[in-house]
């Protein structure tokens, strides 16, 4: 999971990129970068939070009315400084790129690029591989006759070669801003317009709202958009092409956990989806005859579901856990030790809301069980009579190969355990998972029939072509990456 932005504006866009990146900080805290373009690229990237990387001197240096930006969460690649995005190549023309996703045939493509095409890949980051495949494809054209179709043909060949998930924003010097989304649209990408001549692409609509862009629509799966720089003072022109059609399978986890509740993705309002997930989960709680005195959410993403769950059950809803907002999200912290330490610092119980009561805790997911164990323990120590944990998604069992940090199978608490054993391991009296059908119904109520979701981490059914060797390579790289992580 990463956050990306691409903006072409009337004047320098660095301030908008900086503000937009801050609004996407929840999508990655490992590194961040901004690249702008005049006749040359201006780049600043580094490790850590957006606010810590960019100083006034960098903002002053990042000139240009075209820019792209990125917040990174480590997937393939070890989270080193070299792996921070955006990346650029000088030939042909000068191309810069940032992406959100995970390339599943990264190792194979890197080998081809280095051994057959004599391109040097400097980092362990898959964005650099997509960039070089795109650059190679662009270089096959007579660039004296450059047109939007040149970009679309290059993207079509990227789609043929690059497997996995990728939402991409990029710049071609003196030509324009481009964006494309993989044929399954696994990662989100949306764009908006301000005035006559400014466009912005972002991972989430909340970033466009905050920057004052009117949302136009989501970039369609398999679509490429090119916003051409004007030759004289004419307004910019937007060109688009639906290059490859496949079944649309966006990551369902965006609505469960990742995205901001004030975002709308693929026409589904995130907050409303979470409210519906609570209603669906309540049916399961009733079916399992769970009795509780109070419903308490694990802040923040489970809060909307806890509100509706309490309402359906006719139970009081209370804030029983207080979150320190200045500690990073545990799920996206790269090392197990950082995650454990972070849970203790991040949450503190309100004992008066918990003592002597049967607590129905609501959380969005259980990955490794580390966080859940700490939280259940904390609630018990605050004097709870019973603790039941209701989870808004089904048991996570299969690795995500599309960019979420849970690639090694052994990390899942549910991979080889039944519900009662999971409850025992995390110290809860009972655990209730949302059934898969209810998850899909809850999230997808307003989506069209044609639109499905990626649910591979629950089902093991992946929307893209994958081979055993891809899993092995990804698992191997993930373990290596975890060993290489350098704290920001
Ligand atoms: S495997 Fe799970 S986390 Fe990964 S893209 Fe699919 S739904 Fe999202």
Mean pLDDT throughout 201-206? 98
Count of Cβ atoms closer than 10 Å to residue 218 Cβ = 20
How would DSSP label each residue in 247-307?
----BTHIIIIIS-TT-EETTEEHHHHHHHHHHHHHHHHHHTT---SEEEE-TTTTHHHHH
Q: Which atom of ligand 1 is nearest to the CA of 249?
A: 6
Q: Find the 331 Cα to ligand 1 centroid distance in Å.
A: 14
Distance, CA of 228 to CA of 267 (rounded, Å): 27
CB contact set of 226 (below 8 Å; sequence gap of 6+): 148, 151, 152, 176, 177, 178, 238, 239, 240
Asked if pLDDT for residue 255 goes beyond 70, the answer is: yes
Residue 468: predicted pLDDT: 78
Q: Find the 265 Cα to ligand 1 centroid distance in Å.
A: 15
Q: Which atom of ligand 1 is nearest to the CA of 251?
A: 8
Distance, CA of 132 to CA of 109 (rounded, Å): 10
Reported as a pLDDT band with limits 50, 70 and 90, residue 329 is low
Asked if pLDDT for residue 407 goes beyond 70, the answer is: no
Handedness of CA 219, 31, 154, 164 (dihedral sign): negative
**Inter-residue contact 387 to 379 (CB < 8 Å):** yes
Query: Is 253 close to ligand 1, i.e. is its CB under 6 Å away?
Result: yes
Alpha helices, DSSP H, located in 201-265: 205-211, 253
Q: How far apart are the first and last CA of the chain?
A: 18
Query: Is 443 close to ligand 1, i.e. is its CB under 6 Å away?
Result: no
Asked if pLDDT for residue 3 goes beyond 80, the answer is: yes
- Residue 420 region by backbone torsions, left for phi larger than 0, else alpha for psi between -120 and 50, else beta: alpha
Residue nearest to atom 4 of ligand 1 (CA): 400
Q: Write down the residue that tokens 């042909």 correspond to.
A: 92
pLDDT by residue (tens digit) across 424-472?
Answer: 999 999 999 999 999 999 999 655 545 589 999 999 999 998 877 777 7
Asked if pLDDT for residue 411 goes beyond 70, the answer is: yes
Query: Is 191 close to ligand 1, i.e. is its CB under 6 Å away?
Result: no
Asked if pLDDT for residue 486 goes beyond 50, the answer is: no
pLDDT by residue (tens digit) across 92-111?
Answer: 999 999 999 999 999 999 99
- Alpha carbon 231 to its chain centroid, in Å, reads 36
| % of the chain exceeding 90 in pLDDT | 80
Q: Which atom of ligand 1 is nearest to the CA of 453?
A: 7
Mean pLDDT (the chain, rounded): 91
Query: Is 393 close to ligand 1, i.e. is its CB under 6 Å away?
Result: no
Residue 231: predicted pLDDT: 79
**Rounded to two decimals, what is the model's pTM?**
0.93
**Inter-residue contact 184 to 248 (CB < 8 Å):** yes
Q: Find the 187 Cα to ligand 1 centroid distance in Å.
A: 9
Asked if pLDDT for residue 350 goes beyond 90, the answer is: yes
Query: Is 455 close to ligand 1, i.e. is its CB under 6 Å away?
Result: yes
How would DSSP label each residue in 325-374?
TTS--STT-SSHHHHHHHHHHHEEE-HHHHTTSEEEEEES--SSSHHHHH
- Helix axis angle for 303-313 and 270-287, nearest 10°, is 40
Q: Which atom of ligand 1 is nearest to the CA of 458?
A: 2
By residue count, the chain amounts to 488
Strands 223-228 and 176-181: antiparallel
Handedness of CA 331, 332, 336, 337 (dihedral sign): negative
2 is an active site residue: yes
Query: Is 252 close to ligand 1, i.e. is its CB under 6 Å away?
Result: yes
Query: Is 292 close to ligand 1, i.e. is its CB under 6 Å away?
Result: no
Alpha helices, DSSP H, located in 140-247: 148-161, 205-211
Distance, CA of 403 to CA of 136 (rounded, Å): 24
């Amino acid at each position: 999971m990463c956050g990306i932005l691409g903006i072409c504006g009337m004047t320098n866009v660095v301030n908008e990129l900086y503000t937009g990146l801050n609004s996407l900080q929840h999508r990655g805290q490992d590194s961040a970068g901004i690249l702008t373009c005049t006749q040359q690229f201006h780049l600043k990237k580094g490790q850590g939070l957006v606010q810590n990387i960019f100083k006034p001197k960098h903002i002053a240096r990042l000139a240009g009315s075209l820019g792209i930006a990125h917040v990174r969460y480590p997937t393939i690649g070890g989270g080193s400084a070299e792996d921070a995005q955006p990346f650029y190549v000088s030939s042909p023309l000068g191309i810069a790129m940032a992406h959100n996703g995970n390339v599943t045939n990264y190792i194979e493509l890197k080998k081809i690029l280095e051994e057959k095409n004599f391109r040097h890949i400097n980092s362990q980051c898959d964005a650099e591989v997509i960039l070089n495949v795109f650059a190679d494809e662009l270089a096959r054209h007579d660039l004296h006759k450059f047109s939007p179709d040149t970009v679309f043909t290059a993207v079509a060949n990227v789609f043929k070669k690059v497997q996995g998930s990728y939402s991409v924003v990029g710049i071609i010097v003196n030509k324009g801003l481009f964006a494309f989304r993989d044929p399954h649209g696994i990662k989100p990408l949306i764009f908006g317009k301000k005035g006559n001549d400014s466009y912005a692409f972002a991972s989430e609509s909340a970033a466009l709202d905050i920057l004052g862009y009117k949302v136009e629509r989501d970039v369609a799966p398999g679509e490429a958009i090119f916003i051409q720089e004007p030759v004289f003072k004419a307004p910019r022109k937007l060109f688009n092409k639906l290059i490859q059609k496949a079944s649309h399978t966006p990551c369902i986890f965006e609505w469960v956990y990742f995205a901001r509740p004030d975002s709308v993705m693929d026409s589904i309002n995130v907050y409303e989806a979470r409210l519906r997930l609570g209603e669906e989960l309540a049916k399961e709680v009733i079916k399992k005859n769970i009795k509780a005195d109070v419903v308490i959410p694990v802040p923040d993403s489970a809060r909307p579901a806890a509100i509706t769950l309490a309402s359906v059950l006719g139970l009081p809803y209370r804030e029983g856990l207080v979150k320190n907002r200045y500690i990073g999200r545990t799920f996206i912290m790269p090392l197990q030790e950082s995650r454990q330490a972070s849970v203790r610092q991040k949450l503190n119980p309100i004992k008066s809301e918990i003592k002597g009561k049967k607590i129905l805790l609501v959380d969005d997911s259980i990955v490794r069980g580390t966080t859940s164990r700490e939280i259940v323990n904390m609630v018990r120590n605050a004097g709870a009579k019973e603790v039941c944990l209701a989870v808004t998604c089904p048991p996570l069992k299969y690795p995500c190969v599309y960019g979420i940090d849970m690639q090694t199978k052994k990390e899942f608490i549910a991979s080889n355990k039944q519900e009662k054993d999971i409850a025992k391991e995390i110290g809860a009296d009972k655990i209730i998972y949302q059934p898969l059908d209810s998850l899909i119904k809850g999230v997808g109520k307003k989506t069209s029939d044609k639109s499905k979701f990626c649910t591979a981490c629950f089902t093991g059914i992946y929307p893209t072509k994958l081979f055993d060797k891809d899993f092995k390579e990804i698992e191997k790289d993930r373990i290596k990456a975890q060993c290489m992580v350098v704290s920001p």
